[in-house]
Amino acid sequence: MSTPSLLILPGDGIGPEVMAEVRKIIDWMGANRGLAFEVSEDLVGGAAYDAHGTPLHDDTMAKAQEVDAVLLGAVGGPKYDALDFSVKPERGLLRLRKEMDLYANLRPAQCFDALADFSSLKKDVVAGLDIMIVRELTSGVYFGEPRGIHTEGNERVGINTQRYTESEIDRVARSAFELARKRDGKVCSMEKANVMESGILWREVVQEVRDKDYPDIELSHMYADAGAMQLTRWPKQFDVIVTDNLFGDLLSDLAAMLTGSLGMLPSASLGAPMENGRPKALYEPVHGSAPDIAGQGKANPIACILSFAMALRYSFDQGEEATRLEQAVEAVLADGLRTADLLGEEGATPVSTSEMGDAIVAKLAASA
């Protein structure tokens, strides 16, 4: 069996700092768990623009298409605000998603017990929260045509088109149902079938897929605005939520803040299976590049580390090792170690980015 391959794209701002802590874990697993990875590293975002005049070089794109998984840090920063839209750092990330056809975005929202007080909701509402939002990522209103700004009479008009095909809905629904089979067996599909034809089609196709191939999964339907309300009222009623690109963008950010800190949240974007059966995949923390704290050792590496845990689970069939890593993170938090974004509670121990990474590796070693 060939060695699994991983392309690391640290990116901009705090990206290289948090990715350095992931490299520690990869090295430890190779030395102590027999998990060898063929790791390569390249540029994306502003770093790629500085080197090549483009946010993603064609050679890097080609590498991303060939490896088993891509792990990305963060892109962007005020340094690049004046660039033309076509070469802004974020275009590198969007190109990766589009050309790899990463249609299912997985956004877990998990609240570790040690951080329940950081949520804006009551502790009993969020403690133990563990839900997964599956967002369709490559279609919908962000990509539909016609689009643009033009003049009608004496005023300008902005147009975006919500468009979905049956096959696009079908494949993301299947991703959600497959995930639910590995979790609690429940899927809630969210749309606006009461006012949108695309929502009617979405509801019909999701139901058809479930009835035909996933009768073991408990499926419910909910209007997306009601879903937002229910996420803030009692989020633990959900297991897997599947929704379109626009609503997924909004609902996943809402769910993110239930946990208390964006610095804690990973994500995965999955596409169709490759010849080896593994899905094309890009893993990245939800947080941005945070240029205001870059190079200061203040960044929280946990979201990036948990993104690697998702890669272990979904790309490398190493579910036990993923759980081991997640438990190491939980144990470090239970010990009271906190990076700058998590400080504020009495008795917390402030640690730097690298100290947090070292502590997680130490917990891994203790559990081996």
Could you list the active site residues? 142, 192, 225, 249, 253
Strand partners, 70: 7, 282
Residue 121 confidence (pLDDT): 85
Residue 272 confidence (pLDDT): 85
Amino acid at 221: H
Q: Are 347 and 333 within 8 A, CB to CB?
A: no
Identify the burial level of 158 via C-beta atoms within 10 angstroms of its C-beta, where 0-12 means exposed, 13-18 middle and 19 or more buried.
Answer: exposed
Residue 346 confidence (pLDDT): 75
Residue 73 confidence (pLDDT): 97
Instruction: Establish whether the linkage from the previous residue to 55 is cis, with ω within 30° of 0.
Output: no
Q: DSSP string covering 265-334, please? A: -EEEEEEEE-TTSPEEEEEEESS---TTTTTTT----HHHHHHHHHHHHHTS--HHHHHHHHHHHHHHHH
Q: Using one digit for the tens of pLDDT, what is the confidence trace for 27-73?
A: 999 999 999 999 999 999 999 999 999 999 999 999 999 999 999 99
In whole angstroms, give the CA distance from residue 261 to residue 105: 19
Which among 206, 199, 191, 194 is positioned nearest to 243, based on CA atoms? 191
Average pLDDT along the chain = 94
Sequence-distant (6+) residues with CB within 8 A of 152 are none
**Residue 41 zone, left/alpha/beta (φ > 0; ψ -120 to 50; rest):** beta
Structure tokens, 355: 């100290």
Identify the burial level of 139 via C-beta atoms within 10 angstroms of its C-beta, where 0-12 means exposed, 13-18 middle and 19 or more buried.
Answer: buried
In whole angstroms, give the CA distance from residue 190 to residue 231: 12
What is the pTM assigned to this prediction?
A: 0.90
Sign of CA dihedral 329, 330, 336, 342: positive
In whole angstroms, give the CA distance from residue 290 to residue 299: 8
In whole angstroms, give the CA distance from residue 46 to residue 48: 5
Residue 71 confidence (pLDDT): 98
Structure-token match 């997964």, residue found: 132
Residue 344 confidence (pLDDT): 74
Q: Using one digit for the tens of pLDDT, what is the confidence trace for 241-298?
A: 999 999 999 999 899 888 876 678 899 999 988 777 778 999 999 888 999 999 999 9
In whole angstroms, give the CA distance from residue 74 to residue 288: 6
Strand partners, 2: none
Residue 1 confidence (pLDDT): 60
Over residues 208-236, mean pLDDT: 97
Residue 278 confidence (pLDDT): 79
In whole angstroms, give the CA distance from residue 25 to residue 325: 9
Residues in the chain: 368
Distances (CA, A) of 41 to 70, 98, 99, 116, 124: 10, 20, 19, 36, 42
Cα dihedral 49, 291, 310, 222, rounded to 10, equals -100
Q: Using one digit for the tens of pLDDT, what is the confidence trace for 71-98?
A: 999 999 999 999 998 999 999 998 999 8
- The full set of domains in the chain, from first to last, is 1-106+264-368 (3.40.718.10)
- Helix ranges restricted to H, 89-195: 90-99, 123-126, 166-181
Q: Using one digit for the tens of pLDDT, what is the confidence trace for 232-244?
A: 999 999 999 999 9
